[in-house]
Amino acid sequence: MFTFAHLTKGGDKIMLIIPIKDGENIDRALKRYKRKFDKTGTVRQLRARTAFIKPSVINRMKFQKAAYIQNMRDSIENI
């Protein structure tokens, strides 16, 4: 059984527990571990904390993303 602890936003530790079945390949278990680890968003959170981004810039990026998605949906509807 694999276990791994990582820090969350509040500093609490959460354990990732990956049960290994009898006769299961270690590569398969590592793949499940990586998938579960990616879902926690730990790496994204660490990268976001490396540099401060002003709230106005974050809001601007959200509006740009929303406009891009809306343009994509409109172009699909017009086809």
pLDDT recorded at residue 4:
53
77 versus 9: which is more confidently predicted?
Answer: 77
pLDDT recorded at residue 47:
87
Mean pLDDT value of segment 61-67: 97
Q: How far apart are CA 4 and CA 13, in angstroms?
A: 10
* CA 10-66-41 angle, 5° bins: 25
Given a cut of 60, whether residue 23 has pLDDT beyond it is: yes
Intra-chain end-to-end CA distance of the chain, in Å: 52
